[in-house]
Amino acid sequence: MTGFRIGWVVSSKALTDVMINVQAQTTSCTSVLLQAAAEGALTGLQSAVETLRLTLENNRNVMMQELQSFEGVKVTKPDGTYYCLPDFRAYNGNSVELSKMLLSRALVVTVPGKEFGMEGYLRLSYATTIKDVKQGIERIKWALDPTSPREIYIGERKLVRDWL
């Protein structure tokens, strides 16, 4: 139930008691609507789940392939999410600065790895289309790689790289 902030845990009683105490102090009850959505997700048709899993697996594989074209970027293939956290320290060790630069200059949204205790890394999502994954990585590469063309078009908007 990604995004719905609803789930469950299987754990020891001692750990569950601690988790209940923390949860009770930080959130209130799950809404009836979200409870119904969770019930539907667990008891409804599951074919859509497998279709989504296969789509995300394919998107992940495309993301990994596209990131391999970068000199100095390292990434571990994720096993159970729709994000990856590539190491961009070869380009900039400050992930907040790098994330802001990519947003303003290449119009690509990333999340600084610093927020996850991984300075110099960026969180990239592949929960989109293959086209968007490829275009996003292409723009990141354009912004960072001095051998990339000086100009790029995003739709009809022309961007000129004047910082490398």
pLDDT tens digits, one per residue of 79-100: 988 999 999 999 999 999 999 9
d(CA 60, CA 67) in angstroms, rounded, equals: 11
> Running DSSP on this structure, what letter comes out for residue 11?
-
Residues 6 and 34 sit within 8 Å (Cβ to Cβ): yes
Q: Which two tokens stand for residue 56?
A: 């995300």
pLDDT tens digit string along 25-74? 877 778 899 999 889 888 999 998 899 999 999 999 999 999 999 999 99
Q: What is the mean pLDDT of residues 103-117?
A: 96
Report the alpha-carbon distance of residue 103 to residue 122 in Å, rounded.
12
Spatial separation of the C-alpha atoms in residues 48 and 28, rounded to whole Å: 30
User: How is the chain split into domains, by residue range?
Assistant: 47-160
- CATH, domain range 47-160: 3.90.1150.10
- Which residues share a beta bridge with 152? 159
